[in-house]
Structure 1
Amino acid sequence: MPDASSARFHGRMELLRAGSLSRFPGHQVATKIVSEEFVGCPHRIRRSFGVERHRFHGAMSDQPSHPPTNADSVAALNRTIPLSLTSLELRARDVVSLAETGDEGTVVRSFAAMKFLIGQIDLDMRILMRAMASEPVARVTNEKLLALVLRESITGVFKALGELQRTARQQMGLFSDFIDLESLTAAQKTYKEAVREVSDDRDFMQDLIDIRNEVAAHMFSDDNGIESAAAWVVSRSVEPQNDDAIFGSRVFTGSMIVLRALHALDEALEQVPTL
C-alpha cells in the first residue's frame, strides 16, 4: 500500500497532467539557463557618472581596463543563444499547459511564469547584446531596446518574485507545500542584492524609464514631443565605435550584471519546489 507521500506525489502529477503538462516546471534539464559565458568580462563593472551626454548621462559607464574584443563577445553569445531559445520554448509550453489546472495549481502556474520570465529576459538580453557587439553602427537602435529589457529585469522580475511569494503563502490542497518558502525568500534576497548596483542607482533607473517612455516605446511623447528621441540619436552619434566601445554603455554593462544574477536566481529556483 503506498504511503501518504507517494499518494500525494501521484495526486499532484495527475493534476498537472490534467493541464497537459508533460514535463514538470523547474525539473527539466534543458530548461536551465545556460552558463554565464555571455561576455568574458570577469570583474565587476564600475562606473562614474561625471560624463554627461545630453539627458542620457546615466547610460554611460567607465570602460573596464581589459575588455574582451567584440568578436569574443559575439562568439560567446552565439554559443549560448540557441540553448537559451530552447529553454525558453520549453518554459513557454509549461505556462500554456498549466493554464487549466484550477485553483490548486495557482502556485505551480506562478512558478512556471517566474521561470518563463527569466528565460525571456535572458534570451532578449543575449540577442540585443550580440547585436550591439556585432554592429556598433546600429547602437542607436539596439541600445534603446536593450534598455527596455534591462528595466524589465529589475522591475518585472521583482514583481514576479513578489507574486510567487504571495501565491506560495496561499498554496493549498495537493500543492500546499509545493514551494519551500525559506528557499524562495533566500533566492529573492540574493537576486536583489546581486542587482543592487543597477537597481539602487536612481538616476540610471530614471534614465531607463525616460528611454522607454520617450525614445523606445514612444518616440513622440506628450511632454517633449520628438525632442527626446532626437537627443538620444545625437547622444549616440558622438560615441566611439571602436572595438570595446560597448563597454562604455551603462545599459550594456548593467545587462552583464543582471545576466549573471539571473543565472544564479534560476539555479536557486531549481531548489525551491519540494516535489
Structure 2
Amino acid sequence: MTDLIDKTADYVLELASSQRLSILIGLLAKNNTPTAFAKEIDATKQEVHRNFLRLEKAGLIKKNVGGKYSLTTFGQTICTQVPSLVFFSKNRKYFEEHNFGDVPHKFQMRCGQLANAQYIKGVSKVLEQWKIIYKNSEQYVYEILSDVPLDLIEPLVKKIKKGVKFNYVFSESAIVPKGRKTLLKKLGFDKLIEKGLIERKMEKNVQTVVVLNEKEACLMFPTLDGESDISEMFYSDDPMFHEWCLDYFRYCWYGSDIFRENKLKE
C-alpha cells in the first residue's frame, strides 16, 4: 500500500506545473510537437521539450510516428480529473461555507462537469437569473426546491400556460410565504395540474436546489450546517453542466414521494 501511495504522489508531482497541465489539456484537443506547442504558449523550446519528456517518462503521453505526441489512456484518464480540481480551486472560498449536502458521492465524483459555471452572489441577482431560466424555457422547467420565492410564481405560470412542462420536487420543510395558496388559486395552478402540465413530488428535506430548462441550469449547494442557500448560485448553459443538473434532478425525481399539500404550512 505504501508503494502505491508513493507512486500516486509521484504522478501528482507531475501535475504540479501549469505548463505540464497545459500540455496535457492541449493534447486532449489535438496531437502536437514540443516545438509547435512552445510557439502556441510563447515559451522556450528547451523548457517545453523538457516537460514533454517528463510527461512521456511518467507514461502520460507518448511519441507517435512523425514526431507528434498524444495522450496515453492513462493521460486521458488523468485529464478527466483536472476539471474537478479547476472547479474547486476556482470556488474554494464558496466551499469554505458550503458543502455537497445530500448529493450522492457518485455525483460528487462528476463535479468536473460543473467547471464552466458562472458564480452569482446576492439574492436579487440569483432571483433575476432564475427568472431568465423561466423566460428562456421552451419545453420544460425542472426544479428541486427548498423554499418558494413568491415573485417567481407568476412568471413561471405564464410560461406553463404557453405549454412549457413544469416538474418539481418540493421539500416538506419548505419555507412557504404567506399568500402562496391564494396566488396559486388566482393563477389557475390546479387546472394546469389537471391538464398534466405540472407534475410534483416531495422529499423530506431538500438541501441542494436545482433549476433548469432544456438549455441552461443553476445549482445551489447548502451551507455547512445543512441549510439550503439561495443567496448564491452556479449558473451555466454549458452542456456538461446542464447534463449534471438534469441527471441529478432525475435521480431525485424518481426517488421522491408523492406530493402532499397538507404537509406545507404558510
Say yes or no: TM over 0.5.
no
Q: Which has the higher contact order (CA 8 A, sep 6+)?
A: 1
Larger radius of gyration: 2
The structure that is helix-richer by fraction is 1
Indicate the TM-score class for this superposition, using the shorter chain for normalisation: under 0.3
**Greater fraction strand:** 2
Q: TM-score, normalised by structure 1?
A: 0.22
